[in-house]
Amino acid sequence: MERETFTISLMSIALFAAICAPANCGVYNTLYSHAAVIAAETPKVILQQGTAGISTIYMNNTSAKVKVTAPLGIAYGYAFKSSNIRVSTASGTPVDDPQAVLNITLEVEAPIFIIYNAGNRRGSIEDYDGKGCSINVDGIDVAFSWQSPYGNNYANSVTVVYATTLAAGSHVIKGRFFANYPGYTVGIDVRQIAAFWFSGIVANYVRSTTKATTTSSTPVDDPQATLTFTLNQDSLAFIVYNVGNKRGSTEPARGKGITINIDGVDIVTGQWQSPYSSNKANSVTITYVTMLSAGSHTVKGRFFSNSACARARAPRQR
CATH number of the CATH domain containing 118: 2.60.120.760
DSSP secondary structure string for all residues of 303-316: EEESSTTS-EE--E
Residue 43 has pLDDT above 90, yes or no: no
CA angle 16, 17, 22 (to 5 degrees): 145
Regarding whether 92 and 193 lie in a shared domain, the answer is: yes
Confidence of residue 74 (pLDDT cuts 50, 70, 90): low
Q: What span, in angstroms and rounded, lies between the C-alpha atoms of 206 and 201?
A: 17
Regarding whether 89 and 66 lie in a shared domain, the answer is: no
> What integer is the mean pLDDT of 256-267?
97
Please, is 149 exposed, middle or buried when counting C-beta atoms within 10 Å of its C-beta (0-12, 13-18, 19+)? buried
Regarding whether 240 and 168 lie in a shared domain, the answer is: no
10 in any annotated domain:
no
What pLDDT does residue 255 have? Answer: 94
Regarding whether 116 and 181 lie in a shared domain, the answer is: yes
273 in any annotated domain:
yes
Regarding whether 77 and 62 lie in a shared domain, the answer is: no
Residue 159 has pLDDT above 90, yes or no: yes
Regarding whether 227 and 249 lie in a shared domain, the answer is: yes
Regarding whether 66 and 77 lie in a shared domain, the answer is: no
> What integer is the mean pLDDT of 146-151?
96
Regarding whether 81 and 38 lie in a shared domain, the answer is: no
For residue 16, give the H/E element and its range: strand 15-20
What pLDDT does residue 33 have? Answer: 39
270 in any annotated domain:
yes
Regarding whether 212 and 301 lie in a shared domain, the answer is: yes
Residue 115 has pLDDT above 80, yes or no: yes
- Average pLDDT of the residues of the chain: 81
> What integer is the mean pLDDT of 208-226?
94
Please, is 303 exposed, middle or buried when counting C-beta atoms within 10 Å of its C-beta (0-12, 13-18, 19+)? buried
Regarding whether 180 and 95 lie in a shared domain, the answer is: yes
Tens-place pLDDT, residues 288-307 = 999 999 999 999 999 999 98
CATH code for the domain of 242: 2.60.120
9 in any annotated domain:
no
Name the domain count of the chain.
Answer: 3
Regarding whether 170 and 217 lie in a shared domain, the answer is: no
Instruction: Please give the model's pTM, rounded to 2 decimal places.
Output: 0.73
> What integer is the mean pLDDT of 255-278?
95
Q: What span, in angstroms and rounded, lies between the C-alpha atoms of 243 and 306?
A: 15
Domain span at residue 260 reads 207-317
Highest mean pLDDT among 5-9, 137-141, 215-219: 137-141
> What integer is the mean pLDDT of 57-74?
47
